[in-house]
Amino acid sequence: MIKIAVLGYGTVGSGVVEVIKTNGALINQRIGEELEIKYVLDLREFPGSPVEHLITHDFEEIIKDEEVKIVVEVMGGIEPAYTFVKRSLLAGKSVATSNKALVAKHGAELLSIAGERNLNFLFEASVGGGIPIIRPLTSSLTGDEVEEITGILNGTTNYMLSKMYYENADYDAVLKEAQEMGYAERDPSADVEGQDACRKIAILASLISGKCVDFEHIYTEGITEITTEDIGYAKALDMKIKLLASCKREDSQFGAIVAPHMIAKNHPLYNVEDVFNAIFVKGNMLGDAMFYGSGAGKLPTASAVVGDIVEAAKNPERSVMGTWSGETLELKEKSDTKKRFFVRVKGSEEALREELDKVFGTVRIVKLPELNSEFGFLTEVMSEGDYETGAKQFPQICHMIRVEA
C-alpha cells in the first residue's frame, strides 16, 4: 500500500482525489500496489464530501507519519507550499506538485534535495496543465540539444484571445468566463499580465539549458494592451494574436520572452484556440515537435499530478528527474534578439512612408477601413534594439506587437 497526503483541496486538489477515485483500479495496476489517500490538508472542513474523514488542518501530522511516502502539493503560491515541500523531502517523502511559482523560484534547490536523497520531486502539471512536456524533455528528448521552445502556456489568455478574435467579445466578460470555468489564477492579473506564462517558460528554459533561468530576468508583457483594433489588424494581415512564451538559442546564447505576438497561418501555434495550450520544440537532431492539449482546468491538471504520483510510487528509491544547477543562466539581451514588428501609427501613410522605409526596411502597410486616423505597418526583420532606436524618431507610433515568423 502506498499512502499519500494531498496538501490543498481546491480546484486541483479535488481533481486529484477525483482522478484517483475514478481510475483507482487502473492506477493501482500500473503501480503494482494499492494507492491510498491518507490525508487531505486544508484550512476548511468539507462535510459531506468524499474527503470529509481525511481532512487534517495540521501539517505536522503528515510530516510525522512515516507511512506517508508521497506528498502532493496543490496549494499554489510560495508559502507555506515551499516550507511544506522542503520539509517533506527532508523527511524522506517524494513530492508531486502543480505549483509553477514554487518550481520556478525554488526548483533547483528542491530538485537537489530530492536527488541527494534518491527521492522524486516531480512537477509535470506545473507547465501546460495536462500536456506531457516536462517528462518528454527530461527523458524522451535527452539525446537532443533543444534549440527552441515556444509555447502558448496560458489557457486563460488563449481563451480570451480566441473569444476576442472569433466573437469580438468584451475583454472583461471573457476574463470572467475563464475565471468561472476554473482556468484563471486566484489573482487573474498573473494570467493577463503574463507572469503565469513567464514562470512556465522559466521552468522549461531551466530544463533545456541545465541552469537556473530566473523568471525575473525574462522580459514579460501580457495581453492587457491588446484591443479589438489590434485584432482587426491581425485579421487584415491573415494573422492571429497569441501570447507566446519563448526560449530560443540565438548565436549560442538563450534568449527568452513572454509577449503577445502576431503569428501567421503557417505557424504551428496558429490553430491553438480556447483553453488549449501547445508547446513547439525544436531539437538539433529531432527537428520540430509539437505538444498540444488541455492546458488548464481541474481534471487535465489533476491527471498530470496523478501521473507524477504513479511515477514516484513506481520509483521509491530512485530519482527519475533530470535537474538544473543553481547557477543562473545569463540570458541574451532583449535588444539583441531579432524579429519583425507590427506597428500602429497615428496620421497618414503618405506623409510617413518614405521615412519609415528608411528606418524599418521596406515596410508593408496595412489599413483598416474603419480607422481613418491611423495605419499599421510591418517592419523587416531587425533587432529589438534597432527597432526601439528607430521608433523613438516617430512620436506618432501608438502601439507595437511583435511578429513571430
Q: How many CB atoms lie within 10 A of CB 220?
A: 21
Q: Which is nearer to ligand HSE, 294 or 337 (CB)?
A: 294
Residue 296 in contact with residue 129, Cβ under 8 Å? yes
- Cα dihedral 290, 133, 225, 179 in deg (nearest 10): 120
| Member of 88, 154, 206, 379 binding ligand HSE (CB under 6 A) | 154
Interface of this chain with ligand HSE, residues 163 to 192, rule: CB under 6 A: 183-185, 191
Single out the segment in contact with ligand HSE by CB under 6 A; choices: 13-21, 142-150, 152-160, 279-287: 152-160
Interface of this chain with ligand HSE, residues 124 to 143, rule: CB under 6 A: 129
Q: Which of 379, 326, 315, 335 is nearest to 105 (CA)?
A: 326
Taking the complex as a whole, how short is the minimal distance between the CB of residue 89 and ligand HSE, in angstroms? 23
| By the rule CB under 6 A, 196 interacts with ligand HSE | yes
Q: Which is nearer to ligand HSE, 13 or 129 (CB)?
A: 129
Q: Which is nearer to ligand HSE, 10 or 24 (CB)?
A: 10
| By the rule CB under 6 A, 308 interacts with ligand HSE | no
> If 0-12 CB within 10 Å is exposed, 13-18 middle and 19+ buried, where does residue 349 land?
middle
Q: Which is nearer to ligand HSE, 129 or 390 (CB)?
A: 129
Peptide bond into 260 cis (omega under 30): no
Active site residue 200: yes
Q: Which is nearer to ligand HSE, 94 or 98 (CB)?
A: 98
Taking the complex as a whole, how short is the minimal distance between the CB of residue 158 and ligand HSE, in angstroms? 8
Taking the complex as a whole, how short is the minimal distance between the CB of residue 106 and ligand HSE, in angstroms? 17
Taking the complex as a whole, how short is the minimal distance between the CB of residue 155 and ligand HSE, in angstroms? 4
Helix locations, 328-383, DSSP H: 349-360
| Member of 14, 88, 120, 156 binding ligand HSE (CB under 6 A) | 156
Residue 290 is inside which H or E element, if any?
strand 287-294
Taking the complex as a whole, how short is the minimal distance between the CB of residue 344 and ligand HSE, in angstroms? 27
- End-to-end CA separation in angstroms for the chain: 52
Map residues 280-299 to x or -, x wherever contact with ligand HSE holds by CB under 6 A. Answer: ---------------xx---
Q: Are strands 287-294 and 338-346 parallel, antiparallel or unpaired?
A: unpaired
Laid out side by side, the sheet with 55-56 consists of 55-56, 35-41, 2-7, 68-73, 94-97, 121-122
DSSP of 55-99, one letter per residue? Answer: EES-HHHHHH-TTEEEEEE-S-SSTTHHHHHHHHHHTT-EEEE--
| Member of 15, 130, 151, 155 binding ligand HSE (CB under 6 A) | 155
| By the rule CB under 6 A, 42 interacts with ligand HSE | no
Size of the site for ligand HSE (CB under 6 A): 11
Interface of this chain with ligand HSE, residues 201 to 230, rule: CB under 6 A: none
Q: Which of 38, 200, 240, 298 is an active site residue?
A: 200
Query: Which residue is it, cell 525575473?
Result: 216
Q: Which three cell numbers stand for residue 365?
A: 502597410
Interface of this chain with ligand HSE, residues 328 to 387, rule: CB under 6 A: none
Q: Which three cell numbers stand for residue 334?
A: 532583449
Residue 134 is inside which H or E element, if any?
helix 134-135
Taking the complex as a whole, how short is the minimal distance between the CB of residue 111 and ligand HSE, in angstroms? 20
Query: Which residue is it, cell 486529484?
Result: 16
Q: Which is nearer to ligand HSE, 52 or 187 (CB)?
A: 187
Q: Which is nearer to ligand HSE, 185 or 311 (CB)?
A: 185
Distance CA 374, CA 372 (A): 6
Largest CA distance in the chain: 76
Taking the complex as a whole, how short is the minimal distance between the CB of residue 296 and ligand HSE, in angstroms? 4
Taking the complex as a whole, how short is the minimal distance between the CB of residue 314 and ligand HSE, in angstroms? 25
Q: Which is nearer to ligand HSE, 15 or 232 (CB)?
A: 15
Distance CA 242, CA 161 (A): 7
Q: Which parts of this chain interact with ligand HSE (CB under 6 A)?
A: 129, 154-156, 183-185, 191, 196, 295-296
Catalytic residues: 200
